[in-house]
Chain A
Amino acid sequence: MFALTANAAGKTELLFGNEAIARGALEAGVRVAASYPGTPSSEILENLAGVAEEAGLYVEWSVNEKVAVEVGTAASFVGLRAIVSFKHEGLNVALDTLCHVNLAGVKGGLVVVVCDDPTGWSSPSENDSRAIIQWLNVPLLEPSTPQEAKDMTRWALELSEQIGTYCVVRSSTRVSHTTGTVTLGEIASRDILAYFDTSKLFVFVPIVKKHADLLAKVEQVKEIFEKSQFNYYEGPEQPELMIISSGSGRLYSMEAVECLRLEKRVGIVHLGTTWPVPAKFLEKQLSRTSRVLVVEEVDPFLERNLKVVAGDSGWLNRDHAIYGKASGHIKPFGELSPEIVINALVRLTGARYESRSREYDERAKQAAKDLVIGREVMWCPGCPHRATFWTIKNAFRLDGRDGFVSGDIGCYGLDRRGAGGYLITKIALAMGSGTGVGSGLGKLGQFGFSQPVIAVCGDSTFYHAAIPALINAKYNRADVIMMILDNSATAMTGFQPHPGVGVNAVGKAAPVVDIEGLCRGLDIPLEVMDPFDITENTKRLVELMSDRDGVRVVIMRRPCILLRPPNEKPPFKVWVDTLKCRGDECGCARYCVRVFKCPAIVWDRTRGRAQIDEAVCVGCGVCTCICPASAIMKEPRSE
Chain B
Amino acid sequence: MSQQLPGLDRLQKQVLSQGLCSFCGACTGMCPYLVPFQGRVVVMESCPVTESRCCQFCPRMGVDLDLVTSTLFGVAYSGEPIGEVREVIIARSTEAEIRERAQYGGTVSTLIRVALESRLINTAVLAKLVDGVPQGVTVSSAKEILDCCGSSYLVCPVLEAFNRWQPEDNDRVGVVGIPCQTLALAHMRTSSLSPQSNVSRLNLVIGLFCTWALSHSFRKVLAKWAPLSVIRRTDIPPPPASVFHVYTADRCLSIPLDDVRSFIPPACALCWDMTSEMADISIGAAEGIEGWNTVIIRTKRGQELVRTAVLEGLLETGELPKVNFDHLMKSARLKKRRALQNLVQKSGKREDLLYLRLKRETVERILRNA
Spell out A's residues near B (CB within 8 Å).
394, 397-398, 400, 585-589, 591, 595, 626, 628
Contact = CB atoms under 8 A, between A and B. Distances in A.
Contact of A595 (B38, B42, B45): B45
A628 B40 contact: no
Contact of B30 (A397, A398, A587): A587
B44 interface: yes
B133 interface: no
A397 B42 contact: yes
B48 A589 contact: yes
A626 B32 CA distance: 8
Interface of B: 30-33, 35, 37-38, 40, 42-45, 47-49, 52-53, 196
A588 B49 CA distance: 9
Contacts of A628: 31-32
Contact of A398 (B35, B48, B49, B52): B35
A626 B33 CA distance: 11
Nearest to B45: A595
Contact of A397 (B31, B44, B49, B196): B44
Given A587-B53, A589-B48, A589-B49, A400 B42 contact: yes
A379 B47 CA distance: 23
A588 B43 contact: no
Q: Which 8 A-B pairs have the closest CB atoms?
A: A628-B32, A398-B37, A587-B31, A397-B44, A591-B32, A589-B47, A595-B45, A589-B49
Given A398-B35, A398-B37, A626-B32, A587 B49 contact: yes
Where chain B touches its partner, the secondary structure class is: loop
A397 B43 contact: yes
Interface core residue of A394, A400, A587 (most chain B CB under 10 Å): A587
A587 B196 contact: yes
Contacts of B40: 400
B349 to A, nearest CB: 31
Contacts of A394: 44
B106 to A, nearest CB: 35
Contacts of B47: 589
Nearest to A587: B31
B85 to A, nearest CB: 37
A626 B31 CA distance: 11
Nearest to A546: B38
Nearest to A591: B32
Nearest to A585: B196
A293 B370 CA distance: 89
A585 B53 CA distance: 12
Contact of B32 (A398, A400, A585, A588): A588
B159 to A, nearest CB: 15
A585 B31 CA distance: 11
A397 B42 CA distance: 7
Nearest to B31: A587
A520 B297 CA distance: 64
Contacts of A589: 31, 33, 47-49
A148 B74 CA distance: 92
20 contacts: A394-B44, A397-B42, A397-B43, A397-B45, A398-B37, A398-B42, A400-B40, A586-B31, A587-B31, A587-B196, A589-B31, A589-B47, A589-B48, A589-B49, A591-B32, A591-B45, A595-B45, A626-B32, A628-B31, A628-B32
A540 B44 CA distance: 17
Contacts of B42: 397-398, 400
B35 A588 contact: no
Nearest to B48: A589
A587 B29 CA distance: 11
Contacts of A587: 30-31, 49, 52-53, 196
Nearest to B44: A397
A601 to B, nearest CB: 14
A398 B37 CA distance: 7
A41 to B, nearest CB: 39
A93 B45 CA distance: 39
Contacts of A585: 196
A14 to B, nearest CB: 51
B184 to A, nearest CB: 17
Nearest to B166: A629
A400 B43 CA distance: 9
Contacts of B43: 397
Contacts of A595: 32, 45
Contacts of A398: 35, 37-38, 42
A394 B42 CA distance: 10
B23 to A, nearest CB: 13
Nearest to B53: A587
A591 B34 CA distance: 12
A608 to B, nearest CB: 15
A139 B220 CA distance: 67
Nearest to B6: A589
A400 B42 CA distance: 8
Nearest to B193: A587
A614 B43 CA distance: 32
Contacts of B45: 397, 591, 595
A585 B193 CA distance: 11
A588 B45 CA distance: 11
A591 to B, nearest CB: 5
A398 B44 CA distance: 8
Given A398-B42, A400-B42, A588 B37 contact: no
A588 B44 contact: no
Nearest to B29: A628
A177 B190 CA distance: 67
Nearest to B52: A587
Interface core residue of B38, B45, B53 (most chain A CB under 10 Å): B45
A72 to B, nearest CB: 49
A586 B33 CA distance: 12
Nearest to A594: B48
Given A588-B31, A588-B33, A628-B32, 10 more contacts: A397-B42, A398-B35, A400-B37, A585-B196, A587-B30, A587-B52, A589-B31, A589-B49, A591-B31, A595-B32
Nearest to B47: A589
Contacts of B35: 397-398
Contacts of A586: 31
A576 to B, nearest CB: 16
B54 to A, nearest CB: 9
Nearest to B8: A589
Nearest to B38: A398
A142 to B, nearest CB: 49
Contacts of B33: 588-589, 591
A398 B40 CA distance: 9
B130 to A, nearest CB: 14
A585 B42 CA distance: 23
B31 to A, nearest CB: 5
A591 B47 CA distance: 9
A586 B272 CA distance: 34
Contacts of A397: 35, 42-45
Nearest to B37: A398
A130 to B, nearest CB: 45
Nearest to A584: B49
Contacts of A591: 31-33, 45
A591 B49 CA distance: 12
Nearest to A590: B48
A587 B37 CA distance: 20
A595 B48 CA distance: 11
A580 to B, nearest CB: 11
A400 B31 CA distance: 19
A595 to B, nearest CB: 5
A587 B31 CA distance: 6
A583 B44 CA distance: 20
Nearest to B49: A589
A538 B196 CA distance: 30
Contacts of B38: 398
B69 to A, nearest CB: 28
A394 B35 CA distance: 10
Contacts of B32: 588, 591, 595, 626, 628
Nearest to B196: A587
